[in-house]
């Protein structure tokens, strides 16, 4: 009888723990990145009253007689299913669609892992977790916007100061786009194309290209402008009007008058056509730019951070890192949506979003809680019923004990 009371007490304790987990799940129904937990019960060790016996030639076997000793919580496991994405509009709020965790430098507490990408820049330009100040880890691009490979680059704080400057870059390549009228007579006045380029100080320089047809399908170009600009060359078209080849290679050289370094430009005419249509030749692209300051950022699905500058330049600034684990359920929760590596989680495999099984990044969003209220309320009813049933066993045992006491009076 006392054994049944102990069994019932274990059942009450187990169902109370279940209710604790359900209560925590419901409390975090609106917590970004929260993962609900599930409880699994297990039978406690059974006491053997009779071991049973094997069958013989003259007698059948006898099954063992055992009495269970109650129930316990076998495991509390997280539900790692994807939470719904909630739009915030802030480009530094990042959600992971798929597996993985963002990495945080927690100082003396080591590395933390989180799916709560509620990030922002602090006063010195560090990308941090807004709730804790922990610094987001990733890779920084060099001054030319080139990122190291994830395998070769060392993780670092992602630091992008507000109004970061970008130095000017002198133009070295220019390309033409458009059409040259196939009906242009040989020896006709040349087509003049103004090119706006930049010197090493970031000042604009205008160079004029003059294009003249020297023979059917053959054109030559010359360059003029300030500072002793020189250059010439020739190219040809195929009979179908598409670009043929460079017949006389040439470059444009100029010496700016503002003290900037001498420049050499390589023109590219391969995008031109020669059709029976109006001449519409213009500057297509050029790789120079003036000095500028950072105006804003964007983050793509691969976690690459791109800056937009006041001079119109868009340049890669960095990339956030993502860690995956062989068993993410083995991570240790530290509160505030942060986890640390556990004994059964495996070692973190770090790479870029979208690589090596890691999920992709959705900028301007946060991952919501994956708590299903309908399922939690259903589980709560079951836990309540289980608790009440075990409490009823204790009540019945108490009545029996009172009857025994009365027998002795």
Q: Which residues pair with 306 in a beta bridge?
A: 298, 316
- Count CB-CB contacts under 10 A for residue 35: 24
Phi and psi at residue 399, to the nearest 5°: -65, -40
- Count CB-CB contacts under 10 A for residue 310: 14
- At residue 151, does pLDDT exceed 70? no
Q: Scanning the structure block, which residue is given the tokens 């890192």? A: 321
189 and 126 within one domain: no
Give residues with Cβ within 8 angstroms of 388, minimum separation 6. none
Q: Scanning the structure block, which residue is given the tokens 């049944």? A: 4
Task: Identify which of 32, 141, 134, 137 has the alpha carbon closest to the alpha carbon of residue 93.
Answer: 32
- Kind plus residue range of the DSSP H or E element containing 165: strand 165-166
Residue 94 CA to residue 85 CA, distance in Å, equals 10
132 and 102 within one domain: yes
Q: Scanning the structure block, which residue is given the tokens 């692209």? A: 285
156 and 63 within one domain: no
67 and 216 within one domain: no
277 and 185 within one domain: yes
Residue 358 CA to residue 171 CA, distance in Å, equals 39
Mean pLDDT over residues 128-148, rounded?
94
How many domains does the structure of the chain reveal? 3
Evaluate whether 320 touches 361 at the Cβ level (below 8 Å): yes
162 and 251 within one domain: no
Evaluate whether 315 touches 307 at the Cβ level (below 8 Å): yes
362 and 374 within one domain: no
Predicted local distance difference test score (pLDDT) of residue 58: 85
156 and 76 within one domain: no
Q: Which of 232, 257, 286 is the last residue of a domain?
A: 286
183 and 152 within one domain: no
- Kind plus residue range of the DSSP H or E element containing 264: strand 263-268
pLDDT tens, residue by residue, 296-328: 999 999 999 999 999 999 999 999 999 999 999
Q: Which of 261, 286, 311 is the last residue of a domain?
A: 286
Q: Which residues pair with 72 in a beta bridge?
A: 42
Is the model's pTM score more than 0.85?
no
- Kind plus residue range of the DSSP H or E element containing 391: helix 373-407
Q: At what angle do helices 373-407 and 2-27 cross, to 10 degrees?
A: 160
205 and 70 within one domain: no
Task: Identify which of 103, 116, 18, 23 has the alpha carbon closest to the alpha carbon of residue 368.
Answer: 116
Given pLDDT bands bounded at 50, 70 and 90, which one contains residue 36?
very high
Q: Scanning the structure block, which residue is given the tokens 């994830």? A: 150
- At residue 1, does pLDDT exceed 60? no
188 and 259 within one domain: yes
β strands within 16-107, DSSP E: 37-43, 47-50, 65-67, 71-78, 85-87, 93-97, 101-105
- At residue 399, does pLDDT exceed 70? yes
Q: Which residues pair with 360 in a beta bridge?
A: 97
Q: 342 in helix, strand or coil?
A: coil
Q: Which residues pair with 235 in a beta bridge?
A: 219, 246
Q: What is the CATH number of the domain that holds 208?
A: 2.60.98.20
pLDDT tens, residue by residue, 240-273: 999 999 999 999 999 888 889 999 999 999 999 9
pLDDT tens, residue by residue, 336-383: 999 999 999 999 999 999 998 999 999 999 999 999 999 999 999 999
Evaluate whether 190 touches 281 at the Cβ level (below 8 Å): no
Q: 120 in helix, strand or coil?
A: strand
Q: 383 in helix, strand or coil?
A: helix
pLDDT tens, residue by residue, 66-115: 777 889 999 999 999 999 999 999 999 999 999 999 999 999 999 999 99
For residue 20, give its domain range.
2-80+370-407
195 and 279 within one domain: yes
């Amino acid at each position: 009888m006392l054994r049944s009371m102990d069994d019932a007490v274990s059942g009450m304790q187990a169902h109370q723990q279940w209710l604790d987990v359900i209560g925590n799940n419901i409390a975090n129904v609106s917590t970004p990145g929260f993962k609900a937990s599930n409880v699994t019960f297990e039978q406690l060790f059974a006491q053997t009253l009779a071991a049973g016996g094997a069958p013989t030639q003259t007698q059948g076997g006898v099954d063992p007689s055992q009495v269970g000793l109650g129930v316990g919580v076998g495991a509390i496991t997280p539900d790692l299913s994807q939470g719904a994405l909630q739009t915030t509009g802030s480009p530094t709020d990042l959600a992971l669609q798929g597996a993985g965790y963002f990495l945080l430098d927690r100082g003396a507490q080591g590395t933390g892992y989180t799916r709560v990408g509620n990030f922002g820049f602090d006063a010195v330009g560090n990308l941090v977790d807004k709730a804790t100040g922990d610094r987001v880890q990733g890779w920084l691009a060099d001054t030319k916007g080139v990122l190291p490979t994830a395998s070769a680059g060392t993780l670092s704080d992602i630091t992008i100061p507000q109004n970061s400057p970008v130095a000017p870059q002198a133009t070295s390549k220019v390309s033409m786009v458009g059409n040259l009228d196939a009906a242009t007579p040989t020896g006709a006045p040349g087509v003049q194309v103004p090119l706006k380029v930049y010197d090493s100080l970031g000042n604009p320089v205008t160079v004029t290209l003059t294009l003249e047809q020297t023979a059917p399908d053959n054109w030559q170009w010359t360059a003029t402008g300030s500072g002793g600009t020189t250059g010439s060359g020739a190219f040809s078209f195929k009979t179908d009007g598409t670009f043929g080849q460079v017949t006389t290679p040439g470059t444009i050289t100029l010496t700016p008058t503002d003290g900037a370094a001498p420049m050499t430009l390589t023109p590219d005419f391969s995008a031109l056509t020669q059709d029976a249509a109006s001449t519409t030749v213009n500057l297509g692209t050029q790789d120079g730019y003036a000095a500028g300051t950072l105006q804003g950022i964007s983050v793509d699905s691969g976690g690459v951070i791109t800056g937009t500058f006041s001079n119109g330049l868009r340049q890669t600034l960095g990339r956030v890192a993502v860690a995956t684990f062989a068993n993410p359920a083995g991570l240790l929760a530290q509160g505030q949506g942060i986890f640390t590596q556990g004994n059964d989680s495996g070692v973190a495999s770090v790479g870029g979003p979208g690589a090596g099984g890691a999920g992709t990044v959705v900028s301007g969003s946060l991952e919501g809680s994956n708590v299903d209220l309908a399922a939690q309320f259903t589980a709560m009813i079951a836990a309540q019923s289980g608790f009440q049933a075990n409490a009823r066993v204790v009540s019945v045992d108490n009545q029996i004990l009172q009857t025994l006491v009365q027998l002795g009076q």
